[in-house]
Copies of this chain bind each other. A is one copy, B any other.
Amino acid sequence: MSDLSIDVVAKAAGVHRSTVSRAFSRPEAVKSETREHILRVAEGLGYTMSPLAQALRRKTSTIIPLIVPDITNPFFAELAKTMTQAADERGYQLMLCVTNGDPAKSDGYFTAMQAMYAPFGIVAPSTKVDTEALKRFAFGHKVVVIDRVEGDESVPTVTVDSRKGIMLALDHLHSLGHTSIGYVSGIAGTHTAQDRMDAYLELTAQSGSLPVVLDSGSDLDAGTRGAEHFLEMDNPPTAIIAANDMVAFAVISALGRSGLRVPDDVSVIGFDGLALGARFNPPLTTVRQPIADMGHIAIELAEKQNGDGSVDHIVLEPELLVRGSTSELRK
């Protein structure tokens, strides 16, 4: 269990270490009997290759960084969860990098990962990704971004159709009789947040109603402020779309503290589909993003780009998840 290197196995199997190496990493280059014999011997010894030595020589490791602004945010947590799984399945190990939104930190992570010969990285941004900055790094060309990227087609991305999602929310609310629908922006800075907001503005205008942006702040307190704003209005909307579930939670909480009940007094719908939402009070109606798919797809895109160099931009479909925070408009 202590020091079994490739040489030990080689000796035990009576072959040269290069043959052992091939038996593992390029099976077709070794006579099948030899290979099986080697594998058997290795198995018996309980030998596995040193990923470190491999990485050093190959200049490619199996460590892949997942860069998120805040793992405490359940959206990123769910993402991290499915990504660790997806990574595992493919023999990678996820390295969690939490930036707290500090670009300097993510730079630091990039350098570190580059030094570790990470084959690629995944970035879930809190601010717009600066692709120019990315390219300063060796694997800048091998990064998948979980957000839309402006004016640079060379970075693979995976996102959810924001417009479709907002449309789903709006339609749902309309079908319940709501016509005056407010909006609280999410953690702004990302294209995704921007897109959702734009979609809201555009679709509301299209339906002939007046858009009511309760808050467009960029931090976690947007929800709280949005609710405050709502409470001060003379003629508040009867429903609120929150740009993401966390904001929706904050809105409902703040409303609740002022004695307003959801959905009886106001309907609130979120955007994310966090598992947590099912245990909120009330259970949150929301637009679900297929987070699990996003994780898997991000890794696939990265591998694909790594392989044939192709760059894809995947846009997934959101779906409506009706739970308990929206209800028929009561006059």
- The reply on A116 being an interface residue by CB < 8 A is yes
Cβ-defined contact, B93 with A71, below 8 A? no
Stretch binding the partner chain, chosen from A25-33, A78-86, A157-165:
A78-86
In the assembled complex, the CB of A28 is this many whole angstroms from the nearest CB of chain B, namely 25
Task: Tell me the chain A residues, 129-158 only, with Cβ under 8 Å from chain B.
Answer: 138
Cβ-defined contact, A112 with B96, below 8 A? no
Contacting residue for A70 out of B66, B81, B94, CB 8 A: B81
Contacting residue for A52 out of B93, B117, B275, B281, CB 8 A: B117
Stretch binding the partner chain, chosen from A177-185, A206-214, A247-255, A308-316:
A247-255
Residues from chain B with a CB closer than 8 A to the CB of A61 are: 52
In the assembled complex, the CB of A222 is this many whole angstroms from the nearest CB of chain B, namely 11
In the assembled complex, the CB of A208 is this many whole angstroms from the nearest CB of chain B, namely 33
Known A48-B111, A61-B52, A96-B96; contact A280-B280, beta-carbon cutoff 8 A: yes
Contacting residue for A279 out of B72, B250, B283, CB 8 A: B250
Cβ-defined contact, A257 with B283, below 8 A? yes
- The reply on A324 being an interface residue by CB < 8 A is yes
- The reply on A115 being an interface residue by CB < 8 A is yes
Copies of this chain present in the complex amount to: 2
A224→B257 CA distance, assembly (Å): 23
Contacting residue for A97 out of B78, B84, B249, CB 8 A: B84
- The reply on A77 being an interface residue by CB < 8 A is yes
A98→B246 CA distance, assembly (Å): 23
In the assembled complex, the CB of A101 is this many whole angstroms from the nearest CB of chain B, namely 13
- The reply on A74 being an interface residue by CB < 8 A is yes
Task: Tell me the chain A residues, 235-253 only, with Cβ under 8 Å from chain B.
Answer: 246, 249-250, 252-253
A55→B51 CA distance, assembly (Å): 11
Task: Tell me the chain A residues, 80-111 only, with Cβ under 8 Å from chain B.
Answer: 80-81, 84-85, 93-98, 111
11 additional contacts (CB under 8 A) given A95-B96, A281-B282: A48-B111, A50-B56, A51-B112, A52-B117, A71-B71, A72-B74, A72-B78, A80-B98, A81-B98, A85-B98, A94-B95
The 4 closest A-B pairs by CB, nearest first: A96-B96, A256-B281, A250-B279, A253-B281
Q: Could you show 10 A-B contacts with beta carbons less than 8 Å apart?
A: A52-B55, A53-B56, A72-B74, A74-B74, A74-B77, A84-B96, A95-B95, A246-B279, A256-B281, A276-B276
